[in-house]
Chains A and B, each alone.
Chain A
Amino acid sequence: MSLLDVTDLTVGFDTEDGHVHAVKEISFSLEEGEILALCGESGCGKTVTAMAVPRLLPPHTTRLSGSIRLGGRELTTLPEPLMRQVRGSEVSVVFQEPMTSLNPSFTVGFQIAEVLRRHENLSRAAARGRAVELLELVGIPAPAQRIKEYPHQLSGGMRQRVMIAIAVACSPRVLIADEPTTALDVTIQAGVLDVFRDLRDRLGTAIILITHDLGVVADIADRAVVMYAGRAAEQAPVEELFARPRHPYTLGLMRALPAAAVAGPAGRRRLAEIPGMVPSPLTDPDGCAFHARCPRRQDDCLAARPPLVRHGPAHLAACFHPGHPGEQP
């Protein structure tokens, strides 16, 4: 049993246009102190997958099946009052939208102290003191001053770090960070990744890191799940994945990476554009979803959906005609 076990997670949304198949049969597990990257292009279901864990998806329209176990406890059926004790304390989230995720009407200090008072029963004064420490931890200068300020007085990067301070305040067992460095300068990016690493080292926090940035994946993640159109295309330890990518989608992503950027200093290394269209999430065709864009496709790729197949220890890929282990990206 791992710290977090997600098995056959399938999430859809009822919308006016029909049923949106956002995430399909995703399985992964997370050990204590492990950093797992979820990557893939926009709309592939990274955020939905991660938000299913703390059950932060819109309750009335979400259709969810599968199992999510945290320390052996099933979260999908946990009564809401117990789930509220898990949120913010055992599982916490840094959201993708730093500009709008803080409440404009309350001070930064209040918003950090709030989560501490909720879960750790701290007094107002003690929570305030902790808030200052947390701001210092995420690298905000003059924290005693900053806690009295409102979100609109802070830059996007500052707000993102306040969000991180809120998320790590109660030393969660699982931290979900959705594009936590996208809004940040390169120099600050490194600092934020250090905060995560430090949290992992000190408390054994496991981190689900959602990112477009393969450089960040290579830098900090232990394992990665590459998602395509709501499914896992490939999943492997990071070194293995970079050394021996098997799925044509992963191969394409890496081939599109300028070699200099992979090896060289930090820069914006976003998942490159691969020509072609992603299938509409309103449909869930039987064949391989990558078919229309795949350079290796053959006739049988449309007949059935390629299952995830083991290609090495902990290395899975869903492709009928995978790249060869020796093939260089």
Chain B
Amino acid sequence: MTWFILRRCGAAVMVLLLGSVLIFLGVRALPGDPAVVMAGEDASPALVAAIREEYGLDQPLPVQYVEYLRQTLSGNLGRSTQDQLPVTTILAERLPVTLELTALAMLVAITVGVLAGIVAAVRRGRLADYVATGFGLAGLSVPPFWLGLLAILLFSVTLRWLPASGYVPFTEDPVGNLQRMVLPTLVLGMGFAAVLMRQTRSAMLSALSADYIRTARSKGLPERAVVGVHALRNSLTTVVTVLGLQLGALISGAVVTEQIFVIPGFGKLTVDAVLTRNYPVIQAVVLVTVTAYVVINLLVDIAYAFLNPRIRLSGASHG
């Protein structure tokens, strides 16, 4: 298992390095002087010169790349062309917002989706199954922005239960923070809950018809152990795989959700940076996204191996 994890980590580092090369080349492939690109179109000549100096932009590309890597690793991602703030400062402000949103959405989606999937499978062909499957279908076919607008209309405008938009940090006003997070979380989580529900249901149905389930029953185990231990354990690999596959959708879903609810998170930062051609920020945003992708995929791989003894043990015995 240790070997397996080390190998996967090594692969992840390789992917990240490759990603950093592409990001590095991306900005330099843009037409025009990279120093001007990074300083912003109407920056002063002094600033352009300073940036050319700071990044060694008159050096050959490999030297520049090493310098870029060194700066990135030491936490220097450049300055925003909009307000000259360090990009790291901006990220430190925006990233936690998005992390909170996605974490809450995942939490809700996993809880609701997996539980509903189990119930639907156990009560197959009965009312609970139809209700869960119906909601699953709805959750998949309703576009999140429409759902978001509907939710704002109902809960904020008509019922006035929840604020329509905006964000306050949890540390400043925990209740206000959670109140504002309810709708975005549900809007972002709904689609995942639906996907998870469907996949859990089908994985559980196939697990429940397996021979080892009959063995578990023949031991006199109570049904909650038969379902919750024997069947669920074999369905979890599916759940983990689905989570991994849904990652891209989660990131793009977060961008859309932040736009709808005017949440000053990472998604909104991305959209704003693209609209204003704020290249240092774009560079950083892509880097963070790639890193998030690689890290979460790594975690999914490890979780998958952990759940599946075949993979875990073969990884351990011959490297």
Contacts and interface: CB of A to CB of B under 8 A. Distances in A.
Interface of A: 54, 56, 84-89, 92-93, 95, 97, 100-106, 114-115, 118-119, 150, 152-153, 163, 166
Nearest to B307: A105
Contacts of B234: 103-105
Interface stretch (B38-46, B216-224, B295-303): B216-224
A95 to B, nearest CB: 6
Given A84-B222, A89-B220, A105-B234, A166 B310 contact: no
A88 B212 contact: no
B219 A101 contact: no
Given A84-B221, A85-B220, A152-B310, A166 B215 contact: yes
B292 interface: no
A60 to B, nearest CB: 9
B220 A119 contact: yes
Contact of B215 (A84, A102, A153): A102
Contacts of A152: 309-310
The 7 A-B residue pairs with the shortest CB-CB distance in the complex, in nearest-first order: A88-B220, A87-B220, A88-B219, A100-B211, A103-B212, A150-B309, A115-B219
Contact of A166 (B211, B219, B222): B219
A56 B307 CA distance: 28
A101 B215 contact: yes
Contacts of A119: 220
Contacts of A95: 211, 214-215, 218
Contacts of B214: 56, 95, 101
Nearest to A55: B217
B45 to A, nearest CB: 66
Output the residue of B214, B219, B230, B234 with the most chain A CB within 10 A.
Answer: B219
B7 interface: no
Interface in B211-268: 211-212, 214-222, 230, 233-234
Contacts of B149: none
A316 B152 CA distance: 79
Interface of B: 210-212, 214-222, 230, 233-234, 307-310, 313
Contacts of B230: 103, 106
A153 B312 CA distance: 12
Contacts of A101: 211-212, 214-215
Given A85-B220, A153-B313, 4 more contacts: A86-B220, A95-B215, A102-B212, A166-B219
Contacts of A89: 220
A119 B222 CA distance: 11
Nearest to A107: B309
Given A150-B313, A153-B313, A87 B215 contact: no
A118 B219 contact: yes
A106 B217 CA distance: 16
A114 B215 contact: no
Nearest to B312: A150
Contacts of A150: 309-310, 313
12 contacts: A84-B221, A87-B217, A88-B218, A88-B221, A95-B214, A101-B215, A102-B215, A103-B234, A118-B221, A119-B220, A163-B215, A166-B215
B40 to A, nearest CB: 56
A225 to B, nearest CB: 22
A93 B218 contact: yes
A152 B218 CA distance: 21
A93 B220 CA distance: 11
A54 B215 CA distance: 12
Contacts of A54: 218
Contacts of A102: 212, 215
A97 B215 CA distance: 10
B203 to A, nearest CB: 13
Given A56-B214, A95-B211, A95-B214, A104 B309 contact: yes
Given A105-B234, A153-B313, A100 B220 contact: no
A166 B218 CA distance: 10
A166 B222 CA distance: 17
B201 to A, nearest CB: 18
A141 to B, nearest CB: 20
B219 A104 contact: no
A115 to B, nearest CB: 4
A313 B222 CA distance: 43
A84 B226 CA distance: 12
A153 to B, nearest CB: 7
Nearest to A150: B309
A106 B234 CA distance: 10
Given A103-B233, A152-B309, A56 B211 contact: no
